[in-house]
């Protein structure tokens, strides 16, 4: 290209660039800080997945997320953590609403001070009374009923619901729905978190109640010891076995046919979605018009392998 032509072309290009409107700045990280307080104990893999979902959402939007939970199932400690979260004046609070008496006033205090609250996992039928904007989870009572229906379809006549956190209103509702689904022809066995105690309690109860032919646990903390007890007794084929929630051991047992089903409430979404919703609310005042149901769904031997792959990624 001749020198004069190059100069003209360069001059035109410069003029064109200067005449264009300024390009928008690259998207900035969110300035918002959200706090999630749950009752999930560190030993429960269910809550690790919830936390993974929340952290993934915060990373995507560049928001600050603080995750807080007691070291054991302790509603007084959880209440203290929630109160401290409200006092820190976050841009949003995410809370597993496990106990109305302990947490209702905390939600009310938050909303009275202009802090939007989304509840997850437990208490969706109660939290709106205290000002929560939304609940992300499942109807625990309905899920318990569906577990009973599933077992009856498999021939169970009398069921047993093993509750490792009596007083947790979400878990209590699961057992209530299960017993209701059997028209009252089901029992509830209260245990602690201790695996040895759980195994011994289940074996002792079954020895005393020979008419039980279906067993439902409410999470991996009881499902894992229950599976071990059945394996030790060589009794996995003598009962229909089901559980709420997922863990690597649960999924392997379902895949192997040692556990008949697991009820999936997609806990990753219970962590992920509230962070996204609160960000949209802070930025644009947007919020879904109704609660978001993440379950219940059933994992059986037919689809366990697919779910196992996602579990390895910390998503299921």
11 pLDDT above the threshold of 80: no
254, 280 Cβ separation under 8 angstroms: no
Q: Fold for domain 140-264?
A: Rossmann fold (3.40.50)
The segment(s) of the chain belonging to CATH 3.40.50.2300 are 2-138+266-294, 140-264
- CA–CA dist 36, 124 (Å, integer): 16
pTM attached to this predicted model: 0.80
pLDDT number for residue 12 = 36
Q: What is the pLDDT of residue 129?
A: 95
Domain at 2-138+266-294, CATH class: alpha beta
pLDDT per residue over 165-220, tens digit each?
A: 998 888 999 999 999 999 999 999 999 999 999 999 999 999 999 999 999 999 99
pLDDT at 17: 37
The rounded distance, in Å, linking the Cα atoms of 115 and 278 is 10
Task: Using CB atoms within 10 Å of the CB of residue 267, give its burial: 0 to 12 exposed, 13 to 18 middle, 19+ buried.
Answer: buried
Residue 35's CB is within 10 A of a number of other CB atoms, namely 24
């Amino acid at each position: 290209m001749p020198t004069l032509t190059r100069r003209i072309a360069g001059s035109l290009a410069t003029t064109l660039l200067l005449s264009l409107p300024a390009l928008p700045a690259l998207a900035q990280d969110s300035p918002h800080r959200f706090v999630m307080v749950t009752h999930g104990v560190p030993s429960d893999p269910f809550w690790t997945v919830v936390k993974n979902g929340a952290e993934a959402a915060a990373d995507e939007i560049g928001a600050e997320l603080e995750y807080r939970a007691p070291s054991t199932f302790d509603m007084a400690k959880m209440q203290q953590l929630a109160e401290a979260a409200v006092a820190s004046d976050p841009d949003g609070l995410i809370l597993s609403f496990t106990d109305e008496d302990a947490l209702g006033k905390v939600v009310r205090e938050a909303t009275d001070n202009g802090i939007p609250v989304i509840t997850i996992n437990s208490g969706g039928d109660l939290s709106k009374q205290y000002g929560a904007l939304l609940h992300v989870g499942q109807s625990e009572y309905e899920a318990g009923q569906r577990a009973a229906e599933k077992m009856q379809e498999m021939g169970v006549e009398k069921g047993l619901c093993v509750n490792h956190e009596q007083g947790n209103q979400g878990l209590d509702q699961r057992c209530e729905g299960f017993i209701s689904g059997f028209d009252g022809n089901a029992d509830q066995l209260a245990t602690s978190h201790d695996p040895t105690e759980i195994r011994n309690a289940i074996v002792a109860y079954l020895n005393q109640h020979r008419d039980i032919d279906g067993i439902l646990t409410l999470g991996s903390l009881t499902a894992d010891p229950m599976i071990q007890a059945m394996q030790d007794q060589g009794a996995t084929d003598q009962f229909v076995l089901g559980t709420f929630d997922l863990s690597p051991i649960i999924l392997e047992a379902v895949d192997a046919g040692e556990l008949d089903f697991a009820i999936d409430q997609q806990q990753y979404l219970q962590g992920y979605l509230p962070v996204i919703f609160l960000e949209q609310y802070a930025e644009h005042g947007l919020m879904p018009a109704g609660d978001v149901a993440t379950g219940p769904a059933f994992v059986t031997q037919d689809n366990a392998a697919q779910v196992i792959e996602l579990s390895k990624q910390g998503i299921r």
